[in-house]
Amino acid sequence: MSTGDGARARSEAAFAREERRGLMVAAGARSAAVVVIIAWLLASSLEQGRALAWVIATAAVFLVTGLAQLWLYRRRQPPPAAPYVFSLIESLALAAVLVMPNPFWAVRVPPALPFRYASFVFFFVLLMQMTFSFRPRLLLWTGLCGAGAWTLAFLWVKGQPGVITDPPFVTDLPTLLGSYFDPNYLSLLKYGNEVIVFLVVSAGLAVLVRRSRSLVAERAEAERERSNLARYFSPKVVDVLAERDQPLGRGRRQAVGVLFADLAGFTTLAESMTPEDVMALLRSFHGRMEDEVFRHGGCLEKFIGDALLATFGVPDTGRRDATDALACARGMLQALESWNRERTAGGAAALRMGVGLHYGPAVLGDIGSARSMAFATVGDTINVASRLQSLTRELPARLVASADLVTAVQREAADPGLLKGLQPRGARGLRGRDHAIEIWAEA
């Protein structure tokens, strides 16, 4: 599975969880409302005896279905078809309750009379409940179920003896009024308006929910991408990358500041530690150094065990890339000193770190294969910074910088005081290079 497919699968799984929670909330709220309605009917209804029992029983039907849904949705994997089945059952039950007269009423009610009321609005309550599912198909299905159930009820009433519908080709007002005020009159126009509006609203809500899902998915994808960027770039650089459609593009050559840092004697130290303690130590070290890299606007290229590589002027060059690299190195050394005070106070050994700095041209771009792609900065400048870091053990020194970086810091003139403490050490040969390089070092 590709990265995109995995992200979509996680997004769909998250939506599925929210759909189930929404259905639980809707079912629970509706069940509580039905309980309140039943209590109100018991306290205020004028019906008595079996007529009241019939009213309470019809209300209890929706309480039972609501509780059944609540129980079912609380399960981890409810049947996918369950909401659709409940929607159909409740639509049919609601149509029957609204249209069928109470068999225990003392007075016979004309079968067409319920259609004269605004009873159909109760179907919008079912539609509202399904909106909580955040599922467009379920909303469309609920619209079709409600319209279908009301249509069946209309056809059943229309077939009852004595029921009349809109008289055709009648234009005189007395006849129209006589038909309208007839208790057996069944309005086809009213039924059509109700069903059409209900279908339009359900379709509109389905489109709205679908659009909302798309927006949420896009937002989640953007936040995921931004979070991934934040693991490697400073917040300032993340903002720059997030504003571009194609932030990095093809590989390009530009001048960058490079910092390579490594803990001295870490291999020997790790021999006497458990793997868990080594992991905890590295996490603490990485966290402190990462903070300094990002604080100075750098790009954290990678961790290599107890070493790290950071670049400055990536992805875009700035006015103080060399200065930021040197400032970051000093910040990292100060952070290590502060951490060492904590460690020695707790009885642990102090740690030593060497930092190599260089400034020069490099190539920026994506490397890797189609399955595994990563942004990287490559070139001789990176190798030189690594070799300078190795010199910190030979000199010895805690910081070794190339003359190219020192010259760049002087040229930028952003913070010349950072060069205090660095002393020229002449030309030095580096492993793997034919030509020596002028260096500066600080013990």
Q: Taking the domains of the chain in order of start, what are their residue ranges?
A: 3-228, 251-442
- Are 351 and 340 contacting, i.e. CB atoms less than 8 angstroms apart? yes
CATH label, 251-442, candidates 3.40.50.2000, 3.20.20.80, 3.30.70.1230, 3.40.50.300: 3.30.70.1230
pTM for the model = 0.57
Contact 54, 114 (CB under 8 A): no
Contacts with 425 (C-beta within 8 Å, 6 or more apart), sequence order: 395, 400, 439, 440, 441
State residue 282's pLDDT score: 93
CA distances from 134 to 207, 262, 330 (A): 11, 51, 53
Q: What is the pLDDT of residue 232?
A: 63
Whole-number pLDDT of residue 168: 58
**pLDDT on residue 319:** 92
Name the average pLDDT for the chain: 84
pLDDT at 441: 94
Residue pointed to by tokens 């309208």: 180
The Cα–Cα gap between 138 and 89 comes to 14
Q: Tens-digit pLDDT profile for the chain (443 aa)?
A: 445 555 566 666 666 777 778 778 878 877 887 788 788 877 877 667 877 888 788 888 888 888 888 888 887 667 788 888 888 998 998 898 888 877 777 667 788 888 888 788 888 888 888 888 788 998 999 999 999 999 999 999 898 888 888 765 555 656 666 666 777 888 888 899 999 999 999 999 999 988 887 887 777 777 776 776 666 666 656 666 666 655 555 668 899 999 999 998 888 888 888 999 999 999 999 999 999 999 998 988 888 889 999 999 988 888 999 999 999 999 999 999 999 999 999 888 899 999 999 999 999 876 766 666 666 788 899 999 999 999 999 888 999 999 999 999 999 988 988 999 999 999 988 887 888 899 999 98
The set of residues, in sequence order, having a beta carbon less than 8 Å from that of 150 and lying 6+ positions away, is: 95, 120, 123, 191, 194, 195, 198
